[in-house]
Amino acid sequence: MPDSLSGDSLGVRFEKRLRKSESLVSGPVIAEASWFNWNRLNILLLVLLFYATVMYMVRRTKAGAPLRFRRIAGIDAIDEAIGRATELGKPVLYVPGTQNIENIQTIASIQLLTSVASKAATYDIPIIVPLNRAFMVSVGEEAVKQGFLNAGRPDAYMRDNIRYLSDEQFAFTSGVTGIMMREKTAAHSYLGAFYAESLILSETGFVTGAIQIAGTANTHRLPFFVVACDYTLIGEYFATSALVTRMLK
Amino acid sequence: MKREIPILITLVFGVFMIVQFFIPHPVVNEIANRLQNWAIIVISFSYVLGSANILRINGELVYRRGPGWLYKLVLVIAFFLMVIPGMFFGIAEGTWTNDYLFTYTYVPLASTMYASLAFYIASAAFRAFRSKDVASICARGYRLGSDAWSDSRKPVIWDDYRRSSTG
């Protein structure tokens, strides 16, 4: 008769099964903390492989191997946009995304910011950088200052144009659209991580008639940028940052 | 030296944070947790910098009645309106700051901004789907066709509702 029908309690049933088992009783053991999580070995191997590939390519480039980059229309458009802003005598607006500095898209965008600031300094055009994170204030200031230094125009650097607006998504969005409408910025760059604010920003920019360049790795935001902007970098601005800043040299 | 030391500190802590991902030992975890707490403290100081940035730029414009100074004044007043009660009454749920300033004031304003996205989508869609060339006509035709096909395979919601309401 099965245990479930015999009316035995749970304790009695467990004891019966224990008697049937033939395993040896072992002594007390002390658990030791592990020094390596073997379940993550595959991740470690991939990380090492990626690191080795990057180091190999960097060494190869330093040794003089030619690097081939295909032309990206968005990069050429940066010059065009700054040129147009110069003609109109209006500022350039650069939005480095809405995420903090630990986001890889923001890091790539900050490298591009230095390059764009350098070009703006060359043409003697102010560049406005609205920021969505308080932590980005010092990073943004340094990037723009470096760009103006690279262009040989440190005197033209205006600290007040690096503006922290708000950490809140839509407070930031309304702040940026306000800058667009009031200051009539002539060239807009949206490069970084964007979410729901992407269409509000780019459509407002379209209404003001500014030339707009966008780039993000958030694929769900790309259609909005494609519709509303003149040029869209489809995740390739990571390569763009290397190309523009010539980091590999 | 001024450049190398910060880079060295970043390198050491960066590598440690990568390595600790693979080491489950409590000692390493404890150090990693402590480092993360330090990072939170450093980030909290950045809000002081951010606040100073807001007040410096906007306060100066308000003081010398620069262009758009009224908007800046609204921003400065809103800034103090949020910060001062937050400092004195706290920001926990149930406090005046959280309930009246954040939940009943800021959240509806942000929601309105989000809702306005519908108008932006409409204007962008109008431009995107305008039949200006063969490609856009094909894209629109495909979209309409695929929508009609997928709708024909969906159950009719109203019938479901009527069935469920009548039992």
Strand partners, A233: A215
Domain coverage including residue B26: 4-66
Cβ neighbors of A159 (< 8 A, separation 6 or more) are A141
pLDDT score, position A248: 43
Instruction: Give yes or no for A101 touching B (CB within 8 A).
Output: no
Contact A163 B110 (CB under 8 A): no
Confirm or reject contact between A163 and chain B (CB < 8 A).
Answer: yes
Residue A220 in any domain: the answer is yes
Task: Indicate whether B135 pLDDT > 90.
Answer: no
A contacts of B22 (beta carbons < 8 Å): 36-37, 40, 43-44
Q: Give the pLDDT band (50/70/90) at residue A130.
A: very high
Q: Is residue A22 part of a domain?
A: no
The reply to whether A47 falls in a domain is no
DSSP letter at A127 equals: E
**What pLDDT is stored for residue A22 in this prediction?**
63
* Partner-chain contact A35 B25, CB within 8 Å: yes
- Chain A residues near residue B127 by CB distance under 8 angstroms: 227-228
Nearest CA in chain A to B128: A227
Name the closest residue on chain A to residue B126, using Cα atoms: A227
Name every residue whose Cβ is closer than 8 Å to that of residue B136 and which is 6 or more positions away in sequence: B128, B129, B130
**Residue B85 domain-assigned (yes or no):** no
- Please check whether residue A188 is in contact with residue A74, taking contact to mean a CB–CB distance below 8 angstroms: no
Residue B76 forms part of a structural domain: no
> A115 is in which domain, residue-wise?
73-245
| Contacts of residue A25, Cβ cutoff 8 Å, sequence gap at least 6 | none
Average pLDDT, chain B: 86
Distance in angstroms (rounded) separating the CA atoms of residues A135 and B49: 8
Contacting residues of A for B130, CB less than 8 Å apart: none
B134 sits in which H/E element? helix B134-153
* d(C-alpha B108, C-alpha B103), whole Å: 7
Max distance between CA atoms of chain B, in angstroms, equals 80
Q: Name which of A75, A150, A147, A78 is nearest A113 in CA terms.
A: A147
Pick the more confident residue, A49 or A20.
A49
Q: Which of A152, A225, A163 is nearest to A188 (CA)?
A: A225
Q: Residue A213: inside a domain, yes or no?
A: yes
**Shortest CA gap A37–chain B (Å):** 5
Residue B135 lies in a domain: yes
Chain A positions in Cβ-Cβ contact with residue B49 (cut-off 8 Å): 134, 137-138, 164
CATH number at residue A165: 3.40.50
Domain count, chain A: 1
Average pLDDT, chain A: 87
Identity (one letter) of the amino acid at A238? F
CB contact under 8 A, B23 and A174: no
A42's CB contacts (< 8 A; 6+ apart) are: none
At residue A76 the predicted structure's pLDDT band, cuts being 50, 70 and 90, is confident
Residue B148, amino acid? A
A189 bridge partner residues: A94, A213
Contacts of A224 in chain B (CB under 8 A): 124
Q: How many domains does chain B have?
A: 2
Buried b (16+ CB within 10 A) or exposed e, A192-231: bbbeebbbbbbbbbbebebbbbbbbbbeebbebbebbbbb
Cα angle for residues A51, A56, A61 (degrees, 5° grid): 130
Report the residue of chain A nearest B117, measured CA to CA: A200
* Distance in Å, alpha carbon of A240 to nearest chain B alpha carbon: 24
Strand partners, A130: A163
Question: Which pair of structure tokens corresponds to residue A138?
Answer: 């010092």
A78-112 pLDDT per residue, tens: 889 999 999 999 999 999 999 998 898 999 899 88
Residue B97 lies in a domain: no
**Distance (Å) from the C-alpha of residue B156 to the closest C-alpha of chain A?**
29
Q: Does some domain include residue B51?
A: yes
Nearest CB among B46, B116, B123 relative to A135 is that of B46
Give the range among A18-32, A235-249, B97-111 with minimum mean pLDDT.
A235-249
Measured CA to CA, the distance from residue A200 to residue A221 in angstroms comes to 11
Residue A206 counted as domain residue:
yes
| A2 part of a folded domain | no
Out of B51, B60, B68, the one facing A182 most closely (by C-beta) is B68
